[in-house]
């Protein structure tokens, strides 16, 4: 029965997206990532994000948490123009 299973190859990056789920944004040059939470304060316009890394044994570890104004974040991202 095992030989009837077709494995579909996926990239390492896609495996990480699958592993960490919604809110995961990886760093392209290190083993760190941003993990946005589902928590959003609509009254203050704040979004919460954890800066994450992996320990030596590969388990996720939070380095710090950030509380960002979503309008400031959108404004700064809109200033970035790809060359």
Higher pLDDT, 59 or 9: 59
pLDDT band at residue 26 using 50, 70 and 90 as cut-offs = very high
Domain boundaries, the chain: 18-78
- For the domain spanning 18-78, the CATH number is 3.10.450
Q: List pLDDT tens digits, range 2-25.
A: 677 777 788 888 888 888 888 999
Is the pTM here over 0.85, yes or no? no
What the block records as the tokens of 42 is 């609509």
Which strand (E) or helix (H) includes residue 65?
strand 60-69
Sheet containing 32-41: which strands, arranged edge to edge? Answer: 24-26, 32-41, 46-54, 60-69
Query: Does residue 82 surpass a pLDDT of 90?
Result: no
- Mean pLDDT score of the chain: 89
Higher pLDDT, 1 or 62: 62
pLDDT band at residue 65 using 50, 70 and 90 as cut-offs = very high
């Amino acid at each position: 029965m095992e030989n009837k299973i077709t494995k579909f190859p996926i990239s390492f990056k896609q495996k990480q997206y699958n592993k960490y789920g919604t809110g995961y944004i990886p760093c392209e040059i290190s083993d760190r990532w941003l993990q946005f939470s589902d928590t959003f304060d609509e009254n203050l316009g704040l979004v919460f994000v954890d800066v994450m890394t992996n320990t030596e044994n590969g388990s996720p570890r939070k380095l710090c948490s950030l509380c960002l104004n979503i309008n400031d974040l959108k404004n700064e991202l809109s200033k970035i123009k790809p060359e």
